[in-house]
Amino acid sequence: MITIVITMQSTIIQIGNSKGLRLPKDVLLLSGIKKNVEIKVKRGEIKITPIKENQKVGDFAIASEESFAKDWSRPEEEEAWKIYQ
């Protein structure tokens, strides 16, 4: 089996009151991402993987900005993340 790896750089953009990232069509095709995704976050990394079509989105925890705000909007978190800005 041949493994294809695409390396690219991109820029975070403003989308309304949120931020976003545009993904080229070829990147989505190669990744198998069609509609629903699972997002895993750890300091310095975001991993986005497709949810298989036969799985329901309800089977996964759906995080809202509100739920993240409790843990992520603390002064010590803001200070820790400054090195990445």
**pTM (2 decimals)?**
0.54
Q: 44: which residues sit within 8 A by CB, 6+ positions away?
A: 84
Q: Is residue 45, in this structure, part of any structural domain at all? A: yes
Distance from C-alpha of 56 to C-alpha of 77, rounded to nearest angstrom: 33
Q: Is residue 28, in this structure, part of any structural domain at all? A: yes
Q: Is residue 12, in this structure, part of any structural domain at all? A: no
- Domain of residue 49 covers 23-84
Q: Is residue 5, in this structure, part of any structural domain at all? A: no
- What digits encode the pLDDT tens for the residues 6-63? 788 889 998 888 888 888 888 888 888 888 888 899 888 999 988 877 656 554 455 5
Q: Is residue 76, in this structure, part of any structural domain at all? A: yes
Distance from C-alpha of 71 to C-alpha of 35, rounded to nearest angstrom: 28
Distance from C-alpha of 63 to C-alpha of 4, rounded to nearest angstrom: 31
Q: Is residue 18, in this structure, part of any structural domain at all? A: no
What is the predicted pLDDT for the residue at 67?
Answer: 60
Q: Is residue 14, in this structure, part of any structural domain at all? A: no
Q: Is residue 6, in this structure, part of any structural domain at all? A: no
